[in-house]
Structure 1
Amino acid sequence: MFELLWLLLPVAAASGWLAATRRTERPDADSSSEDIYRGLNYLLDEKPDRAIEVFGRMVVHDPDAVEVQLTLGNLFRRRGEVDRALHIHSELLKRSQLTSEQRGRALLELGEDYLKSGLFDRAEALFEELQGYVEHRSVALVRLLSIFEQERDWRRALEISDKVEQQTGTPMRVNAAHYCCELASESLAAGRVEEALAGLEQALAYDPDSVRASIQRARVVAARGDYRQAIEDYLRVVRRAHEFLPEVLEPLRECYLESGRREDWLMLLRELVQRRHASAAAVAYAKALREQEGVAAALNFIERELRLYPSLEGLRQLIDLKLAAEEPVRIGDLETLYRIGHSFAERMPRYRCDNCGFVGKSLHWSCPSCKRWGTVRPAGERTRRD
């Protein structure tokens, strides 16, 4: 709502000047100025409905009040009455006497109306035209990018992201990397593997720390039997974004074992446990010890680890090992604990957005709530690190 106050300040100033210069020509000039300030007060008091009444009366009495009509249409759109906003702004654009500045404002407001109503093709046409208005070019580019994202037109989003960065100064390399990944996914779905790999290379050129591009490329090359490259890509994630360990440890294990490098796999797990004490790595190491040395060795390790670095994942692994051990324990109690731990873990959010706090059970590369790219991360590992 405060954005509207900034829009109305020039209206208030203009109305005051008009009231002073046209007092002899129009007896209602003073009342017009009073209406502007009355409308401002309603907005400050968060009473948009009353403000709309005031500005609506002003438009009826003075159809030439361009700024007031722009603001009135804006208020209608924010209240959800997009049809009324569309009517006001489209009628305004039919006027031939608008200044360039007024026409630019009207185009912007009408574009916002179309965007709000989901008429992306019409909004796109207006924002394309707005690029010719220097004062509105930044907003127009950002809105076009939003349209291309919603339409999943990743190629055009990629093309315009460079312009957005140049015009606004906002870094767009992370976004650009995600657009490349989206295009790579489309190429893979169509069976164009080499094209997909080229797209992922481009993504990593935009953002060398891209977790998504590294994981995607690792999956592609692993499917082709290039386990060396897959391991390298997965390790990039482990080294640069270790909160994603739960996402990559299992496929990384498969790559090590398929390439006959079991000892390297165990060495990596030991390093992760010793340096980071990550619960996912501890659980994976316990499983590897169980396979290689037996239940007793795995149980001894996980008990020692949990005393110093307790975690729900580790507790579940401990119970699982206890159930498998040949020890005089009350199996029924352990099974109950396991079910409770499993149920608790299932209810906990697995992922959280660093930007808006959105939580969910699935990994989204673009947050469903705030639409930011690359801000959703696994919650468990980060919580232990923090």
Structure 2
Amino acid sequence: MIMGFLKNALMARHFKTLQSGLESAIRKDPTNPNLRKKFALELAHFGNRLFAGKEPLAWCGITVPFDLLNALGVNACFVEFLGAVLSASGQINDILENAEQDGYSPDTCGYHRAVYGAARQGLVPTPDFLIGSSVPCTGGQAVMERLSSQFKKDLYMLQIPQVENERNVAFLAHQLREMVSFVESRLGKKLDQERLRNAVRLSNEMRAQMVELFSLAAQNPSPVKSKELANFALVLNLMNGTQAGLDLVGNFKTEYARRVREQQCPPSKLRLLWLQNRIQFKNGLLDLLENEYQASIVVDELNDVTWEPIDPDDPFPGMAKRSISIPFNGPGTNRLTHLKKLIDRYQIGGVINPCNWGCRQGAGSRGLIEQSLREMSIPIINLEVDCVDSRGFGEGQLRTRLEAFLETASARAGRASS
């Protein structure tokens, strides 16, 4: 018990140190927009709340409606976020080995191995409850079930339909109402309807700002620097229904509008689309893209708005549609249609696909995506990596393959522009 508390305190200290360092860096350069630093600072604030133990805590799946949980006064986080944080901090190897010693195969998803190993080692706080979802993967369901057993806490599992129609939306909206009852019974209080309406209003305003932000990002030349919007919309989901999330998107939109207006968007020789998640640990691949080939990642696959505004007076159907709309849901053709839309909108000249080991979305769909993009004459490179586990990361080999891809894609882009 004492050892678990100490390890938990180490993670809490990590977020406090991160927050302090970022605040100091921003103060030293107040005229710099510091977009990525301010994004990281808000995540540090979020991490501090997770580990403070002052409010109810829930570990969740990715497609859970976080604005609803924020309205309920719950600090909620999808578990893959923890895997990414542990990887970026460089503290992950022992944690992964711990999960593997308990039966997790090394070729399963590193995000899920990481959070389960961290839970076994007492590195993450015990939640009040857990809420899982069937999308985007069954591996996510499995780790939520194991965490529920590990923490000895109740789990509510959302079953996300694969097709949006009236019956399926009603089915999921009913589950969301049941989820509210599940949370209310564990908190000992009812959902404040006015607080819910306000959270939905903030979500809708943030959605509108995101539409404008991504429209600016799609311009050619683009105001986006390759690291600024890495994993942006996916992580921003945690701030749905909060003023902090709305302000963060507004800062990005204002700065991108300024760059476009003042023509501070240097053209890149190659505009790239990055699929799924970024590689979370330190590596030199992005420097290769930007510095040696003047290539720019102008869009990540999930940096898009795929849902309509939600009715504040009847939010559950709209929240259901939002969860169903994620491109990773349903048949593979849904994802391909979404990728084609991004390629056209952003004038993409090449695609990087990190085929995360053990991932249906990464490794499982690589053949389907590769075939579809070849039919569009769009170069693609499949990087066989684990996005959080650096132990098998062969940077030299990947660099050689990436250079060959960039040469091909750059030549094609040059011919297309001439």
- Give your verdict on TM over 0.5: no
TM-score computed with the length of structure 2 as normaliser:
0.22
Q: Which has the higher contact order (CA 8 A, sep 6+)?
A: 2
The structure that is helix-richer by fraction is 1
The structure that is strand-richer by fraction is 2
